Amino acid sequence: MGRYFREACCPSAEAAGIAAKNGASRVELCESLEIGGVTPSQKMMEQVLKENPGLCVNVLVRPRGGDFIFSEDEIQTMLKDIRLCKSLGVNGVVIGALRPDGGVDMACMRRLIEEARPLSITFHRAFDECSDVRDCLEDVIALGCDRLLTSGHEKNALEGRFTIAELVKQAAGRIIIMAGCGVRPSNINIIAESTKAEEYHSSTLLGWD
């Protein structure tokens, strides 16, 4: 796995430390993975940054589990959390919002991105619940996101590898496509050969399989 750019999904400060020692290229901090992940606490972010100087840290900004259709109150919560991330000096935020019809919520995303810049922006796996992957990829690119995390509209990246490959071709270098969900040492070569994705999102750097 060493030759791939690997982002480690880390639900605790301890996990981030393990990932850093195991050679993670970047970590994504979150909490409550059992509901798909939500914004981590300020304490966790501060601890990870303090204990791992130089580690590239992205932070999931998501106020709750469930769908990705957010109320104004939830948007305000995300804006507040993004401001906190900026003040702490993280590398980037991981965000995503959809409309009820399954399209990308462009208005919401523009507000979040405007607040977040100049941080790096990842559009997360809300994309895997969108209505049309080709159209929504163009919307994510139009927003100026730096990368897209996707399992190719399937339950894991191995099953979605052919769709991910199509997205990589469509993106044509305009955005980084990061394959994620179920990426393991046992399958990353197959996923990489099939998709030609630039980055891979996994929890295996924590010793899980």
Neighbours of 19 (CB within 10 A): 28
Instruction: Check: CB of residue 164 under 8 Å from CB of residue 157.
Output: yes
pLDDT bin (cut points 50, 70, 90) of residue 26 is: very high
The residue-averaged pLDDT of 75-88 equals 98
pLDDT bin (cut points 50, 70, 90) of residue 203 is: confident
Query: In the prediction, which pLDDT does 146 show?
Result: 98
- Which residue shows structure tokens 């999904």? 9
CA distance 20 to 123: 23
CA distance 37 to 29: 9
Q: Give just the sign of the alpha carbon dihedral 147, 41, 183, 108.
A: negative
What are the residues whose beta carbons fall under 8 Å from the beta carbon of 130, sequence distance 6 or more?
Answer: 98, 102, 103, 104, 136, 153
The pLDDT > 70 percentage for the chain reads 96
pLDDT at position 87 over 50: yes
- Residue 29 bridge partners (DSSP): 10, 59
* Residue 21 to residues 14, 24, 27, 148, Cα–Cα distance (Å): 11, 7, 12, 25
pLDDT at position 1 over 50: no
pLDDT bin (cut points 50, 70, 90) of residue 113 is: very high
pLDDT digits (tens, 9 = 90+) for 171-188: 999 999 999 999 998 999
pLDDT digits (tens, 9 = 90+) for 53-66: 999 999 999 999 99
The pLDDT > 90 percentage for the chain reads 90
Strands (E), 124-171: 147-150
Instruction: Check: CB of residue 177 under 8 Å from CB of residue 192.
Output: no
State the chain's mean pLDDT as an integer. Answer: 94
Q: Is the peptide bond before 11 cis (omega within 30 degrees of 0)?
A: no
pLDDT at position 205 over 90: no
